[in-house]
Structure 1
């Protein structure tokens, strides 16, 4: 993925999230999501924190080389696979989101912050490295992690919004490439899985069916590929 393509995918992913949540009422923003214990407003706040982190990261150049790429970042992520840490972080997000006067206030901040993060991605030097979450990544790899996060959470927040648009194709392709990397080159995902189905199953949002397990063989035990 070229740096301009990655930045464009991030802008598209963030714009798509905004298009989903900006028209929602405060009551709508309290609808459930695929994230245990989180309503839509909580997911938006989580993405807001990601966009804020992006602004800091793009302004935090680091000497290379990178120690993770856009795939290995997910297995090296702090607390990865730690259920207690995951629950604690989920609770912190709920508490932080509840500090706003109303759910739509979170959306308003997101709507101004997300485009700034996308512009920072487009302006970043594609040959440089940045530091985040205790790791060093190339700028294109860091952008890809942001896209993957945005796409998966887009799917999370639309579970109770049946008419909401899907993530854009360019962003879906980045997220799918991440999951393919986590699955390894030696395993082919089951024929017939759509990009959305693959992302939901790879991220643990949907369970594997018996047929999936037969098709995946030993690799079924690797799921979810990230959570």
Structure 2
């Protein structure tokens, strides 16, 4: 739960500093500008807030790693979501997008962090322990924090070290492979398709399929 608090606090600090002049800058998410990504981040914070108040009333059927296994398995649905995000983001002034994200992120962080680790909640068709829910939220926020600052000027602060370490844990578990000598940031970028592996990295990965999720 400390992980989620720290990751959300760092990302919110970066979003708080964004203004109209940055809203059209491209991000590390293909086809999305800063304003589109902020709206997507808002949606994921709302996911966490809703999950925190939705008891599953059944045993957990996935954990912090298994949650990602089916991600990206429906390219048409993913493409539709990307298009809808752009449309929805276009309905609001950037200041509104920013404030809605900051409000939802703060509420989600408080709500999820207040749950007992072993409480099972419902999210996106899954039943998942609260501690594992916190990991999924932290992993997505960490990756998108990197996406958000990828092309911004002024060297804004990137994702937290603890968030990148959690992404590494998930990526290596999904591969499955341990990648000694790789930085946490490199594991996150290559493992989620944000960077192509070098020939040496490809050799180290062996037959592993990439990305493990995007």
Fold equivalence (TM over 0.5): yes
**Contact 1:29–1:104 (CA<8 Å) still a contact in 2?**
no
Q: Which residue of 2 aligns with 1:88?
A: 80
Q: Does 1:201 align with 2:190?
A: yes
For normalisation by structure 1, the TM-score amounts to 0.89
**Contact 1:188–1:216 (CA<8 Å) still a contact in 2?**
no
For normalisation by structure 2, the TM-score amounts to 0.94
The correspondence of residues 103-142 of structure 1 with structure 2, limited to 5 A, is 103-142=94-133
Q: Which residue of 2 aligns with 1:18?
A: 12
| Distance in 2 (alpha carbons) for counterparts of 1:29 and 1:104 | 10
Structure 1 unaligned regions, length at least 5: 1-6
| Distance in 2 (alpha carbons) for counterparts of 1:127 and 1:71 | 16
Structure 2 unaligned regions, length at least 5: none
The correspondence of residues 13-92 of structure 1 with structure 2, limited to 5 A, is 13-77=7-71, 80-92=72-84
| Distance in 2 (alpha carbons) for counterparts of 1:108 and 1:170 | 25
- Residue 104 of structure 1 deviates from its aligned partner by 2.3
Task: Please identify, of 166-175 and 67-76, the stretch whose mean Cα deviation from structure 2 is larger.
Answer: 166-175
| Distance in 2 (alpha carbons) for counterparts of 1:64 and 1:181 | 25
Equivalences, count: 213
Q: Does 1:213 align with 2:206?
A: no
| Distance in 2 (alpha carbons) for counterparts of 1:155 and 1:15 | 14
SS of residue paired to 2:195? coil
| Distance in 2 (alpha carbons) for counterparts of 1:82 and 1:110 | 26
